Homo-oligomer: A and B are copies of this chain.
């Protein structure tokens, strides 16, 4: 993952938190983040699927926090946007004739998985409320 889904999601959540339960349009969110509104809506779709936010269609619509900020932990947010491993996917197909190449991916995967768990554990120490409090 070298895209910016995690920072975008966190940015959205922080803005929604700021809105204190109020409804915010994707246009507005995109303006603050300075990215395309469609990307924001896609990210919101994911956040909604994971229960972090809700959204309302139609005029005056937009999205809002669906949980108390204290109940959204950053590790969960990370997991919701995580697509491949942080350390780079083992998408490579090493030479199966090489005794190392043949089995390296499985060892890399287990190494990555451990390391990523440490990262998630660290993120999980903070909630959205903790993060947002830094902006006061």
A122–B126 CB distance below 8 A: no
Q: Are B100 and A32 in contact (CB under 8 A)?
A: yes
Give Cα A107–Cα B116 distance, bound, in whole angstroms. Answer: 21
Q: Chain B residues near A123: list those with CB within 8 A.
A: 111, 115
Q: With a CB–CB cut-off of 8 A, which chain B residues contact A134?
A: 107
**Does A14 touch B at the CB level, under 8 Å?**
yes
The interface size of chain A toward B, counting residues with CB under 8 Å, comes to 53
Number of copies: 2
A120, chain B: closest CB distance, angstroms? 8
Chain-B contact segment, one of A41-49, A53-61, A65-73, A90-98: A90-98
B91 in contact with A4 (CB, 8 Å): yes
Q: 6 new A-B pairs (CB below 8 Å) besides A7-B88, A10-B104, A119-B122?
A: A1-B88, A6-B88, A8-B92, A11-B101, A11-B104, A114-B122
